[in-house]
């Protein structure tokens, strides 16, 4: 398993070792001991899965403390542009975002720690996204930021007028208006 920080403290790209032969392939998508060897010590308690059609943008979502979530995301079918935004006050990357294409073919994963907003857009005809969370869903802690926030300027790889957005996500506040209660701690 290859784990590397992607330029924003705590945000990690994970690439599993894949064994392929004439029968197909095998890989470990998660192994608690291997993650711990890379300094990732969260314990996952909930798995989520969604399926969306091309052009759907989900996000940007997060839960505030004390119910913040670390997420480990991968794609089972199709391809997405996965985006994480640093919301941690005092972080050297506060307000910065990172985007990566994740697909069933490249098998990449993104570890999005607490203190980040997260979202994705579907680049293929459809995509099935699977992610692990280290804290349970808590409706009272759910927050979000409008996907097309001008301050962030995220290129979702789909024209804004063609993005398929839920009614709930269309009402999310801007980056500056959104409630955030995260503080950057040295070491992530």
Q: Which residues of the chain have pLDDT under 70?
A: 187-188
Read off φ and ψ for residue 148, nearest 5 degrees. -105, 30
Question: What pLDDT is recorded for position 31?
Answer: 87
**Residues 102 and 74: beta-carbon distance below 8 Å:** yes
Helix (H) or strand (E) holding 169: helix 167-170
Question: What pLDDT is recorded for position 174?
Answer: 98
How far apart CA 97 and CA 90 sit, in angstroms, is 15
131 assigned to active site: yes
Question: What pLDDT is recorded for position 41?
Answer: 87
Question: What pLDDT is recorded for position 104?
Answer: 96
Question: What pLDDT is recorded for position 159?
Answer: 82
Q: Which of 61, 62, 98, 118 is catalytic?
A: 61
How far apart CA 148 and CA 45 sit, in angstroms, is 31
Please give the biggest Cα pair distance in the chain: 53
How far apart CA 40 and CA 103 sit, in angstroms, is 23
38 assigned to active site: no
Question: What pLDDT is recorded for position 39?
Answer: 85
**Residues 94 and 86: beta-carbon distance below 8 Å:** yes
Give this prediction's pTM: 0.93
Q: Which of 62, 98, 118, 131 is catalytic?
A: 131
Nearest to 158 by CA among 60, 52, 55: 55
The domains of the chain, with CATH numbers, are: 42-170 (2.60.120.10)
């Amino acid at each position: 398993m290859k784990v590397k920080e992607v330029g924003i403290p705590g945000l990690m790209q994970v690439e599993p070792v894949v064994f392929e032969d004439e029968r197909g392939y095998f890989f470990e998508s998660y192994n608690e001991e291997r993650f711990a060897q890379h300094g990732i010590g969260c314990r996952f308690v909930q798995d989520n899965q969604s399926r969306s059609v091309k052009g759907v943008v989900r996000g940007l979502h997060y839960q505030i403390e004390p119910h913040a979530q670390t997420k480990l995301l991968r794609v089972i079918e199709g391809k997405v542009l996965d985006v994480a935004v640093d919301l941690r006050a005092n972080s050297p990357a506060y307000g910065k975002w990172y985007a990566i294409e994740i697909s069933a073919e490249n098998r990449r994963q993104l570890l999005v720690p607490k203190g980040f907003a997260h979202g994705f857009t579907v680049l293929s005809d459809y995509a099935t996204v699977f992610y692990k969370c280290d804290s349970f869903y808590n409706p009272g802690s759910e927050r979000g930021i409008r996907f097309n926030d001008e301050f962030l300027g995220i290129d979702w790889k789909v024209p804004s007028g063609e993005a398929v957005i839920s009614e709930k996500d269309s009402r999310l506040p801007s980056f500056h208006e959104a409630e955030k209660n995260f503080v950057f701690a040295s070491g992530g």
